[in-house]
Structure 1
Amino acid sequence: MGLTTSACLAIDAGNTKTDVAVVDIGGTVLGRARGGGFRPPAVGVEAAVDGLGTTVAKALAAAGAGAAAGVAARPAVPGAGAGTGTAPDSGPAPGTGAGPPVPLVAHVSACLANADLPSEERAVTAALTARGWGRTTYVANDTFAILRAGLPDDGSVQHGIAVVCGAGVNCAGQDGEGGTHRFPALGRLSGDFGGGGGLAEEALWFAARAEDGRGEDTRLAREVPWHYGLTSVYALIEALHLGDLPRARMHEITPVLFQVAAGGDPVARALVERQADELVSMVRVGLTRLGLLERATPVFLGGSVAAARHPLLHDHFTRQLAVHAPKAVPEVVTAPPVLGSALLGLDAAGAPQASRARLRAHYA
Structure 2
Amino acid sequence: MTRAGRPTRTVLAVDGGNSKTDVALVREDGVVLAAARGGAFLPQTAGVGAAVDVIAETVRQALAPAAGAPPYADHISAYLAGADLPIEEERLRDELIARGYGGSVVVGNDTFALLRAGARDPWGVAVVCGAGINAVGVSPGGEVARFPALGRLSGDWGGGYHLGEEALWHAARAADGRGPATALADAVLACFGTATVEEAVIGLHLGGLQIARLHALVPPLLAAASAGDPVARSLVERQAEEVALLGVVAMRRVGLLGEPCEVVLGGGVLTARDPLLMSLIERRFAECAPHARLVVADVPPIVGAVLLGLDRLGAPPEAYERVRAHFSGAAGRAAGDASGEEVLTAPAG
**TM-score over 0.5 (shorter chain):** yes
| Aligned residues between the structures | 322
Confirm or deny that 1:279 pairs with 2:282.
Answer: no
On the 8 A contact 1:301/1:330 being kept in 2, the answer is yes
Give the corresponding residue for 2:17.
14
Which residue in 2 is equivalent to 1:359?
323
**Partners of 1:131 and 1:159 in 2: CA distance:** 31
Deviation at 1:227, TM superposition (A): 2.6
Could you say what secondary structure the match of 1:255 adopts? helix
Runs of 4+ in 1 over 3 A off after TM superposition: none
Letter in 2 for 1:258: L
**Residue in 2 aligned with 1:162?**
126
Structure 1, unaligned runs of 5 or more: 68-92, 95-102
* Paired residue secondary structure (1:109): strand
Deviation at 1:10, TM superposition (A): 0.6
Conserved 8 A contact 1:21-1:338: yes
Cα RMSD, aligned residues only: 1.3
Residues in 2 aligned to 1:12 and 1:43: alpha-carbon distance in whole angstroms: 17
The aligned counterpart of 1:86 is none
- Name 1:99's counterpart in structure 2: none
Structure 2 counterpart of 1:314, one-letter code: M
Q: Is the 8 A contact 1:5 1:106 kept in 2?
A: no
Cα contact 1:8–1:342 (8 A) shared by 2? yes
Letter in 1 for 2:147: F
3-state SS of paired residue (1:137): strand
Q: Does 1:223 align with 2:187?
A: yes
Q: TM-score, normalised by structure 2?
A: 0.90
Q: C-alpha distance in 2, partners of 1:27/1:5? A: 11
Q: Give the superposition deviation at 1:5.
A: 4.6
Q: How far apart are the structure 2 equivalents of 1:308 and 1:52? A: 27
Q: How far, CA to CA, are the matches of 2:276 and 2:303 in structure 1? A: 28
2:61 to 37, 58, 61: 58
Match of 2:80 in 1: 112
TM alignment of 1:44-55, pairs within 5 A: 44-55=47-58
What SS does the corresponding residue of 1:21 show, helix, strand or coil?
A: strand
Percent identical across equivalent pairs? Answer: 52
What is the alpha-carbon distance in structure 2 between the residues aligned to residue 158 and residue 246 of structure 1?
39
Deviations 1:184-217 (A, max 9, x none): 0011110001100000000000000111111111
Unaligned runs of 5+ in 2: 1-6, 329-349
Q: Deviations over 1:287-325 (max 9, x none)?
A: 111111101100000011111110111000000011011
Q: Secondary structure at the match of 1:305?
A: helix
Q: Which amino acid aligns with 1:107?
A: H
| Contact 1:111 1:142 (C-alpha < 8 Å) held by counterparts | yes
CA contact 2:118–2:298 (8 Å) conserved in 1: no
